[in-house]
A and B are shown apart, each in its own frame.
Chain A
Amino acid sequence: MRHIVPIFKREFLGYFRSPVAYVFLIAFLFISVSLAFSRYGGFFRAGVAGMDSYFTFFPWLFLFLVPAVGMRLWSEEKRSGTVELLFTLPITTLEAVLGKFLAGWAFLTIAVLASFPMALTVGYLGDPDWGVILTTYLGAVLMAGGYLGVCTLASALTKNQVISFVISLAACAALLFLGFSSFTDTLEGLLPMALADALSNFSFITHFDAFTKGIIDPKDVIFFLSLMGFTLFLNVVVLER
């Protein structure tokens, strides 16, 4: 497992060696903050000292932005042939998968945490519940990991970054929409109730919601961690195939 460190370092610094990191961070903050300030978010108009109106868009933002971070992880290596270099170095597939995933996750964590001036603003203007803000941040970081697991898996399936992006988007969208009643109602019409119910438990939204209310429910934490574990396991299988 000691080889995770150099893989992680290379991948993480790799974001900053190209313009990718800066474009991504600026776009992420610009879009997330403007959505919160827009009339859909109503950050100021709500008159509440909280970050609900900021984080409420996160599942949607992640739908587009996490695939942008994850799509290159394996596709790029396969296209440029460096995958042959990487897998003839004395490392195991699991080490490579974990190193890369953790680097992408750390980068997304930075993006999420870079919104801290919003939290400071809320703290300056009012008297927010800091516990709720902290659990929301925790939820956002865990959710980013869940999305990223799906995206790295999609990236390992193809050497084409566009295909990787589209697969990621479709898979994440499915996991997102499972949480909406209109969508699950349709499912209930098609499938037995129990199955539809079970499926709707796989949604990002249902599991993120509790965090935004200040609740750290073990079942939500376990959902995101097991989603990561499962997708990373499949990632190893796909690469060793």
Chain B
Amino acid sequence: MIEVKGLVKTYGPKRAVDGVSFSVKRGDILGFLGPNGAGKSTTMKMITGFLRPDAGSATVDGIDVTRDPVAVKGKLGYLPESAPAYPEMTVEEFLGFIAEIRGYREPAARAAQVDRAVQLTHLTPVRKQTIETLSKGFKQRVGFAQALLHDPAALVLDEPTDGLDPNQKNEVRALIKGMAEAKAVILSTHILEEVEAICNRVIIISQGKVVADETPAQMRARKPGARLDEIFRELTRGDL
């Protein structure tokens, strides 16, 4: 579903992403792990067509994102880091705007799509509220609703549980797990338990390079008995 080959992005003298390659199939939930600044977000921004890669390619469903960015963006759902949204709009207005851009022109079809997303993410109590008045947890869910709205085949989620309380984290994880069967999901995080809880594959990235690509069980087997964060520290030593 998502194929990434040799992605490179350079900021000035620094190589933020240095030849990252991997692929994600339908049904996969890929955990994207790494210290802050390792290149997780930059990689995701290149897959979603927000940044242009300096080298390499990213394809979604066989379409190259640099060749036909609009088609790729139509297939993807993307939750950017910290879930940006227009603060002066109500939840309903905002999702309606996204639905209209996503091609739901008919008011009835648009309303149906917004209703579905609102129900999936439990936003019903706040749907008439402006986004600036919402708590962090609700804002995050609005970002989620926006990414899910068109029922995309591939989801890219940048730190979907960041800043949420433990209950909300659980809820978001359940939500991701619940819809993963028919989708390819990439999620970045720096919470190691999260990866164990929902992902069936882990990629660890350090200084812009992939240093591990395996299942959570394989990662654990690297050093039997050790805690996950010890293994993580060992793999990402270069960033220290």
Interface residues of A (CB under 8 A from B): 3, 5-7, 9-10, 14, 17-18, 80-82, 84-85, 87-92
Which residues of chain A are near B102, meaning CB under 8 Å? 89-90
Report the nearest A residue to B73, measured CB to CB. Answer: A90
A85 touches B146 (CB 8 A): yes
Q: How far is the CA of A172 from the CA of B160 in the complex (A)?
A: 43
B87 interface hit (Cβ, 8 Å): yes
Q: How far is the CA of A155 from the CA of B98 in the complex (A)?
A: 23
B88 touches A14 (CB 8 A): yes
B76 interface hit (Cβ, 8 Å): yes
Which residues of chain B are near A7, meaning CB under 8 Å? 101
Number of A-B contacts (CB under 8 A): 60
B236 interface hit (Cβ, 8 Å): no
The answer, among B71, B76, B81, for a CB contact under 8 Å with A88, is: B76
Bitwise, B201-212 to A at CB < 8 A (1) or not (0) is 000000000000
Interface residues of B (CB under 8 A from A): 45, 48-50, 70-71, 73-74, 76, 78, 80-82, 84-89, 97-98, 100-103, 146
A10 touches B97 (CB 8 A): yes
Which residues of chain B are near A88, meaning CB under 8 Å? 48-50, 73, 76, 78, 80
Which residues of chain B are near A89, meaning CB under 8 Å? 73, 98, 101-102
Which residues of chain B are near A90, meaning CB under 8 Å? 70-71, 73-74, 101-103
A6 touches B100 (CB 8 A): yes
B100 touches A87 (CB 8 A): no
Report the nearest B residue to A3, measured CB to CB. Answer: B101
Report the nearest A residue to B45, measured CB to CB. Answer: A84
A31 to chain B, nearest CB (A): 26
B101 touches A6 (CB 8 A): yes
B86 touches A92 (CB 8 A): no
Q: How far is the CA of A73 from the CA of B156 in the complex (A)?
A: 27
Per CB-CB distance, the 5 closest pairs between chain A and chain B, nearest first, are A81-B84, A90-B74, A6-B100, A90-B73, A17-B88
A85 touches B85 (CB 8 A): yes
Q: Is the interface of A mostly helix, strand, loop or mixed?
A: helix
The answer, among B70, B78, B88, for a CB contact under 8 Å with A91, is: B70
A42 to chain B, nearest CB (A): 41
Q: How far is the CA of A203 from the CA of B100 in the complex (A)?
A: 40
Q: How far is the CA of A92 from the CA of B101 in the complex (A)?
A: 11
B84 touches A85 (CB 8 A): yes
A99 to chain B, nearest CB (A): 10
The answer, among B84, B100, B103, for a CB contact under 8 Å with A82, is: B84
The answer, among B50, B71, B97, for a CB contact under 8 Å with A84, is: B50
- 14 A-B pairs in the complex with CB atoms less than 8 angstroms apart: A9-B100, A18-B88, A81-B82, A81-B84, A84-B45, A84-B80, A85-B78, A88-B49, A88-B50, A88-B80, A90-B101, A90-B102, A91-B101, A92-B70
Q: How far is the CA of A14 from the CA of B89 in the complex (A)?
A: 8
Q: How far is the CA of A89 from the CA of B50 in the complex (A)?
A: 9
A166 to chain B, nearest CB (A): 24
Q: How far is the CA of A17 from the CA of B93 in the complex (A)?
A: 11
Which residues of chain B are near A91, meaning CB under 8 Å? 70, 73, 101
Q: How far is the CA of A84 from the CA of B71 in the complex (A)?
A: 17
Which residues of chain B are near A10, meaning CB under 8 Å? 86, 89, 97
Report the nearest B residue to A20, measured CB to CB. Answer: B88
Q: How far is the CA of A85 from the CA of B81 in the complex (A)?
A: 10
Which residues of chain A are near B45, meaning CB under 8 Å? 84
Q: How far is the CA of A7 from the CA of B97 in the complex (A)?
A: 8
Q: How far is the CA of A91 from the CA of B71 in the complex (A)?
A: 9
B84 touches A80 (CB 8 A): yes
Which residues of chain A are near B86, meaning CB under 8 Å? 10, 14, 80, 82
Which residues of chain A are near B101, meaning CB under 8 Å? 3, 6-7, 89-91
A148 to chain B, nearest CB (A): 21
Please give 11 more A-B residue pairs, beta carbons under 8 A apart, in addition to A85-B78, A91-B73.
A6-B101, A10-B97, A18-B88, A81-B80, A81-B82, A82-B84, A85-B80, A88-B78, A90-B102, A91-B70, A92-B70
